[in-house]
Amino acid sequence: MGFRDRGLNGPKFQMREKILAIGDDYWIEDENGNKHYKVDGKAARIRDTFILEDASGAELSKIQEKKLSVRDKMTIERGSTTATVRKRLLGIRDHYIIEVDDGDDLKAHGNILDHEYEIERDGDTVAKVSKKWFRVRDTYGVQLAEGQDVALILAITVCVDAMARD
């Protein structure tokens, strides 16, 4: 199940499309099929919540949908860092702004619905998302640049996928 993208040489992961219904779980695997992270869909009253865990079950990030705000958004809590993912419509394409407290903001843009997009920070690509790397139905790949916060980037892709379905 190998895949590689020119320009990025960091870790690569396989994600499930239309990630999950609340209450479902699934594993994020590396390019060799090893389970590294688990996405746990928690049922909550007012909002959808996903927990990103490492292979041993330790919580790395909490992802929550904020449906009561003027504009739908999702927040990621990763230790003392909070990131907010907001959807913006620019022309006919979706565009996501990721505001990171105490860090540099990111943006996700491209063909979001077809899982062909990039995540950038200050004009530099920090991750690419592509469905072309896999022939397995309902999966897509995430290739990170070297030195990125893997759990944060994967949590962002969970948010983008969940928000794109709404």
Q: Reduced to 3 DSSP states, what percent helix, strand and coil does the chain have, rounded to the nearest 5?
A: 10, 50, 40
* CB neighbour class for 122 (10 Å; exposed up to 12, middle 13-18, buried from 19): exposed
Sorted by where each starts, the structural domains of the chain and their CATH numbers stand as 12-165 (2.40.160.200)
pLDDT tens for the 166 residues of the chain, in order: 344 455 678 888 888 765 544 456 778 888 888 888 888 776 544 456 788 888 888 888 888 776 555 457 889 998 888 999 998 866 656 789 999 998 899 999 998 888 899 999 999 999 999 988 777 777 888 999 999 999 999 999 988 888 887 6
Which pLDDT value is given to residue 17?
64
For residues 78 and 152, the answer to whether their CB atoms sit within 8 Å is yes
Which pLDDT value is given to residue 68?
53
d(CA 156, CA 110): 15
pTM: 0.75
